[in-house]
């Protein structure tokens, strides 16, 4: 019997992508679709690409419309998830694509978000050591941020194998859908096409502590992250270029071996053959993460690069992958590993 799923925030990009994936998921029946200002509209007006749901109506995001489902995906602005979760009951699986429950350290939360910490839920990055086990059977999931997903998958093997020094540098380029559907001047097509620009420079981006949390967990010692996000002229995709000092004794061979071992059994993370580098186009629409790594002996650094689709592995795909684990379904069920390219 199909699992009955609702999506709150269905008119945004994350919500739309969850629906795209759920439409192809053989174990899911799509229930309520809710929105805030778009409530009352046809879904086809918000997401003309979701033809099978074109005539479904967006309902208001309330406990009432979300009640009675087995799974509720929350694709809401930060700070709204706790209140909704409180009303839904403990046996409903809540998959939160917002930031509210990602960080374990209340101080870090308050430093970056300026509001009280709501708590910590099992973290929806199954590739992180221990995460897969914590997700199985869970009824609460905190879906990682898109940048932390990309950066963590790039550097995880280096830290888990003790090859990298404690100061990581991450520079990532994101497609514009990562900034959501809000009407902001710098997100206009006229502004973004033909242009690259950074934002949140100097460690102020809220995904910074999440990266540090993940890499610290992998390393077993504190890791700091210098993170610079940039906006790229493409609708989707994240390319994360990540590096750290190579510890003494590290060789190209030991780096390669660590990455091969780390991802040999991961269904969605693909270490590319040597000499081939990831391109975001290769994972357009796919839940795969492509990873490659090099050892720069002159500069003494390990340089790892990952490419993901920010809306899939970086959001909706990570959410569905974690949902599968929580529900006891095969982890890969319904999730594409082929990109739509060119």
CA distance 229 to 222: 22
Rounded to a whole number of angstroms, the distance between the first and last alpha carbons of the chain is 37
Instruction: Identify the helix (H) or strand (E) that includes residue 243.
Output: strand 238-245
Least distance CB 217 / a copy of itself (angstroms): 18
Nearer to a copy of itself, 218 or 225 (CB): 225
Q: Are 12 and 180 in contact (CB under 8 A)?
A: yes
CA distance 234 to 230: 12
Nearer to a copy of itself, 11 or 34 (CB): 11
Nearer to a copy of itself, 64 or 251 (CB): 251
Nearer to a copy of itself, 93 or 309 (CB): 309
CA distance 126 to 136: 10
Single out the catalytic residue among 146, 160, 232, 335: 146
242 counts as catalytic? no
DSSP track, 3-30: EEEEEETTTSHHHHHHHHHHHT-TTEEE
Nearer to a copy of itself, 121 or 268 (CB): 268
Mark residue 299 as left, alpha or beta (left: phi above 0; alpha: psi -120 to 50; beta: remaining).
alpha
What is the pairing mode between strands 93-96 and 167-174? Answer: unpaired
Task: Give the closest residue to 153 by CA, choosing from 311, 308, 309, 340.
Answer: 308
Distance of CA 196 to the CA centre of its chain: 22
**Where does residue 104 rank: exposed (0-12), middle (13-18), buried (19+ CB within 10 A)?**
middle
CA distance 129 to 235: 31
CA distance 301 to 311: 30
Least distance CB 139 / a copy of itself (angstroms): 29
Tokens representing residue 84 in the block: 């909704």
Nearer to a copy of itself, 69 or 295 (CB): 295
Catalytic residues: 146
């Amino acid at each position: 019997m199909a699992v009955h799923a609702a999506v709150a925030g269905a008119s945004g990009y994350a919500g739309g992508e969850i629906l795209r994936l759920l439409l192809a998921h053989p174990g899911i029946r799509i229930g309520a679709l809710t929105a805030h200002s778009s409530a009352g509209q046809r879904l086809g007006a918000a997401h003309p690409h979701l033809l099978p749901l074109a005539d479904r109506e967006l309902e208001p995001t309330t406990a009432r419309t979300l009640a009675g489902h087995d799974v509720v995906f929350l694709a809401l602005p930060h700070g709204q998830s706790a209140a909704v979760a409180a009303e839904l009951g403990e046996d409903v699986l809540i998959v939160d694509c917002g930031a509210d429950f990602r960080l374990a350290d209340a101080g870090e939360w308050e430093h970056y978000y300026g509001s009280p910490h709501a708590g910590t839920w099992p973290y929806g990055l199954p590739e992180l050591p221990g995460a897969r086990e914590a997700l199985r059977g869970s009824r609460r999931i905190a879906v990682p941020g898109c940048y932390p997903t990309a950066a963590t998958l790039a550097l995880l093997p280096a830290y888990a194998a003790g090859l990298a020094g404690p100061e990581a540098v991450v520079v990532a380029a994101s497609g514009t859908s990562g900034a959501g559907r809000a009407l902001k001047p710098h997100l206009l097509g006229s502004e973004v096409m033909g242009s690259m620009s950074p934002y949140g420079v100097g460690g102020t981006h809220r995904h910074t502590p999440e990266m540090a949390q993940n890499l610290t967990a992998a390393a077993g010692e504190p890791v700091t992250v210098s993170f610079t996000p940039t906006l790229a002229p493409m609708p989707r995709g994240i390319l994360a270029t990540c590096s750290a000092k190579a510890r003494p004794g590290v060789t190209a061979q030991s780096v390669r071996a660590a990455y091969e071992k780390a991802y040999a059994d991961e269904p969605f993370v693909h270490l590319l053959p040597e000499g081939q580098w990831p391109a975001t186009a290769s994972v357009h629409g796919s839940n795969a993460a492509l990873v490659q790594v090099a050892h720069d002996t002159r500069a003494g650094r390990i340089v790892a690069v990952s490419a993901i689709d920010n809306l899939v592995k970086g959001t909706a795909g990570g959410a569905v992958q974690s949902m599968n684990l929580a529900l006891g379904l095969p982890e890969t069920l319904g999730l594409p590993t082929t990109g739509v390219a060119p």
